[in-house]
């Protein structure tokens, strides 16, 4: 299941680390006994500069997926209810907090029923943006106000890498608005970053 947001032109919503302003969405599910749910599977964000600050989030449209496990004793012919309370923030020049209550009655069956093409495409877009573990070795070094993120792998070459950007999962690790200087030699990629307020 997922919370789908369609945003008006020039408006945006936020990633789990919203950057220098904003707040991520919160989704609280109520499920039948025996069911379980994971957390939001966060799609990778976009950079959204706003004057001297940098925010991380989404424009146009995004789905925040959550994996739900159906109870083992659910039987064909029954229905499976998923209720949600959600809060989120949308911003242009000003920000508006929004909230909603939702309920899905999902029929239980012994065959797969496909969602509409529109909904499947929205989930597929979120899935393609999902960060994946990389095969490369990485290390972080720090000196005074500078932070260096180094990634090493034989396939990290000038031909393969056109750009790179580090999105910190939590606020304050780096200065979000500071430039990230990329240097690349065959097999080694380095980003020069600036420490944030909570770096330790």
pLDDT digits (tens, 9 = 90+) for 66-111: 999 998 898 998 999 999 999 999 999 899 999 999 999 988 888 8
* 78 backbone φψ class: left, alpha, beta (φ>0; ψ -120 to 50): beta
Q: How many CB atoms lie within 10 A of CB 91?
A: 22
pLDDT digits (tens, 9 = 90+) for 152-162: 999 999 889 99
Residues 6+ apart with CB under 8 A from 7: 13, 58, 59, 60, 61, 62, 90
**Sign of torsion over alpha carbons 185, 188, 189, 193:** negative
Q: Are 102 and 83 in contact (CB under 8 A)?
A: yes
Q: How many CB atoms lie within 10 A of CB 112?
A: 5
Q: Are 173 and 199 in contact (CB under 8 A)?
A: yes
Tell me: pLDDT of 200 over 80.
Answer: no
Looking up tokens 């600050």, which residue turns up? 53
Which tokens hold the place of 142? 């720090």
pTM: 0.91
β partners of residue 64: 3
Rounded average pLDDT over 3-18 = 97
User: Would you state the torsion angle of the CA atoms of residues 24, 18, 93, 61, taken in this order, to the nearest 10 degrees?
Assistant: -60
Confidence of residue 178 (pLDDT cuts 50, 70, 90): very high
Long-range contact set of residues 44-49: C-beta below 8 Å, sequence gap at least 24: 44/129, 44/130, 44/131, 44/167, 45/14, 45/15, 45/167, 47/165, 48/12, 48/19, 49/177
Task: Tell me what the pLDDT averaged over the chain comes to.
Answer: 94
Q: Are 90 and 7 in contact (CB under 8 A)?
A: yes
């Amino acid at each position: 299941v997922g919370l789908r947001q369609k945003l008006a032109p020039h408006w945006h919503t936020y990633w789990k680390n919203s950057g220098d302003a904003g707040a991520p969405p919160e989704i609280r599910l109520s499920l039948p006994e025996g069911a379980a749910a994971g957390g939001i599977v966060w799609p990778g964000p976009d950079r959204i500069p706003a004057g001297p600050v940098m925010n991380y989030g989404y424009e146009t449209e995004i789905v925040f997926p959550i994996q739900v496990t159906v109870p083992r004793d659910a039987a064909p012919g029954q229905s499976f209810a998923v209720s949600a309370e959600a809060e989120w923030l949308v911003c242009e020049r000003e920000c508006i907090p929004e909230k909603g209550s939702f309920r899905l009655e999902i029929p239980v069956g012994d065959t797969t029923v496909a969602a509409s093409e529109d909904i499947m495409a929205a989930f597929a877009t979120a899935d393609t943006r999902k960060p994946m573990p990389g095969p490369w070795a990485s290390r972080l070094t720090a000196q005074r106000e500078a932070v260096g993120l180094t990634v090493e792998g034989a396939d990290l070459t000038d031909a393969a890498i056109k750009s790179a950007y580090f999105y910190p999962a939590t606020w304050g690790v780096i200065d979000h608005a500071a430039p990230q200087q990329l240097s690349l030699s065959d097999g080694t990629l380095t980003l020069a970053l600036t420490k944030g307020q909570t770096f330790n």
